[in-house]
Amino acid sequence: MAVYLKSESEIERMREADQIVASVLAAVEKAARPGVSTLELDRLAEELTRQAGAVPAFKGYQGGGPYPFPGSLCTSINEEVVHGIPSADRKLEAGDILSVDFGVKLDGFYGDSAITIPIGEVSETAGRLIEVTREALELAIAEAVPGNRVSDFGDVIEDYVESEGFSVVRDFVGHGIGRALHEEPQVPHYRASGNNLRLRPGLVVAIEPMINEGTWQVETAEDGWTQVTRDRKLSAHFEHSVAIGHDGPVVLSRRPEGE
Ligand code: MG
Ligand code: MG
C-alpha cells in the first residue's frame, strides 16, 4: 500500500487548492435557496473555480458510475447520500437538505470538501442530522494527531453518531489525498478492523462521514451515479481535507475565522 507523505511546501500548495474549494462552497451555500436549480449552483461553482485558476476535479471523473461524472459539484438532496448529478430540472425547495461535495485540482494537487446546507426552514430531525454529521467530522478531525491510527476516526464517529440514534454509511469511505484525488489509505467512518496505519506528519486525509437518519444501507439510483438511502430517509455529509501536523490536525479546507 503506497502512502504518500507530503512536505510542508506541498501541504501549502494543497492548502491553496482547498481554500478555493472552501470559498466556492461558501458561495454555493449563499446561492442555495428555494427555486434555484442544482445546475445553476454547478455553473456558479465551475465559473468561480476557473476564475481562480483551478480545474473542477469531479467533472469527467471515471469509475464511480457508468459514464463520466457530468457535473463540477455533487449535489445530493434529502435521501440522496452522495454523487447526485446537478440538473436544471432539480430545483431546491424549502425544507430540503442539500449536500454539496466539491473538489479542485490546482498546480498538481487536489482539494476536497463537502457541506450540507438546510434550504429555508427544515424539520427538527433534518437540522439535528446536519449538526450531528458536522460534529462527527469535528470529533474525527481531533484524532488527526501523530501516533493515532486511521481506525481512530471511524471509532469516534460511529460511537457518537449511534449514540445520537443515526447510522454511518459503510459503502463509501474517506481517503488519502494529494497528487491524486483518492490515495491510500482508505478512511472508514465506522468501526473497522484491519485499517491500523499509524498517522504520521505529512499524511493528508479527506475525512467525510455520510450519516443517515435511518438505515446505513444505500443503493444506486437509476441514473447510475446517485446514491440514495435504502429506506429513503435523510442523509447528510461533511468533509474536510486534513493534514496530520507535528502538533495536531491542520484543516486545509477550513476558511479562516470571520470569512
Ligand atoms: Mg468530496
Ligand atoms: Mg472525498
Summarised one tens digit per residue, pLDDT across range 161-181 is 999 999 999 999 999 999 999
Contact of 101 with 76, CB cutoff 8 Å: yes
Distance 159 CA to ligand 2 centre (A): 22
Distance 238 CA to ligand 1 centre (A): 8
Whether the bond into 185 is cis, omega within 30 of 0: yes
Tell me, what's the pLDDT at 160? Answer: 98
Tell me, what's the pLDDT at 257? Answer: 81
Residue 3 CA to residue 193 CA, distance in Å, equals 19
Pairing between β-strand 174-176 and β-strand 80-82 as defined by DSSP bridges: unpaired
What ligand is nearest to the CA atom of residue 206? 2
The matching CATH number, chosen from 3.40.50.300, 3.40.30.10, 3.90.230.10, 3.30.70.3270, for 8-251 is: 3.90.230.10
Give Cα 157 distance to the centre of its chain: 15
Distance 76 CA to ligand 2 centre (A): 14
Whether 54 has a pLDDT exceeding 70, the answer reads: yes
Distance 82 CA to ligand 2 centre (A): 10
Tell me, what's the pLDDT at 194? Answer: 74
Distance 198 CA to ligand 1 centre (A): 23
| Structure confidence at residue 127 as a pLDDT band (50, 70, 90) | very high
Q: Across residues 234-249, what is the average pLDDT?
A: 98
What 3-state DSSP class applies to 48? helix
Distance 102 CA to ligand 1 centre (A): 5
Residue 19 CA to residue 226 CA, distance in Å, equals 26
What ligand is nearest to the CA atom of residue 58? 1
| Structure confidence at residue 158 as a pLDDT band (50, 70, 90) | very high
CA atoms within 13 A on the CB side of 163: 9
Distance 175 CA to ligand 2 centre (A): 6
Residue 146 CA to residue 44 CA, distance in Å, equals 38
Calculate the average pLDDT of the chain.
Answer: 97
Q: Among 29-43, 163-177, 188-202, which is the least confidently predicted range?
A: 188-202
Distance 113 CA to ligand 1 centre (A): 5
Tell me, what's the pLDDT at 195? Answer: 67
**Closest residue by Cα to residue 61 from 103, 99, 21, 33:** 103
- Kindly list the distances between the CA atom of residue 122 and the CA atoms of 34, 68, 152, 234, in Å, as whole numbers in the listed order: 12, 33, 32, 12
| Structure confidence at residue 1 as a pLDDT band (50, 70, 90) | low
Tell me, what's the pLDDT at 193? Answer: 79
What ligand is nearest to the CA atom of residue 113? 1
Distance 116 CA to ligand 1 centre (A): 12
Whether 259 has a pLDDT exceeding 70, the answer reads: no
What is the per-residue pLDDT across 91-111, written as a single tens digit (0 to 9) for each?
Answer: 999 999 999 999 999 999 999
Whether 258 has a pLDDT exceeding 80, the answer reads: no
| Structure confidence at residue 186 as a pLDDT band (50, 70, 90) | very high
Which residues have beta carbons under 5 A from ligand 2 (an ion)? 112, 206, 208
The full set of domain ranges for the chain reads 8-251
Which residues have beta carbons under 5 A from ligand 1 (an ion)? 101, 112, 114, 239
Q: Across residues 237-249, what is the average pLDDT?
A: 97
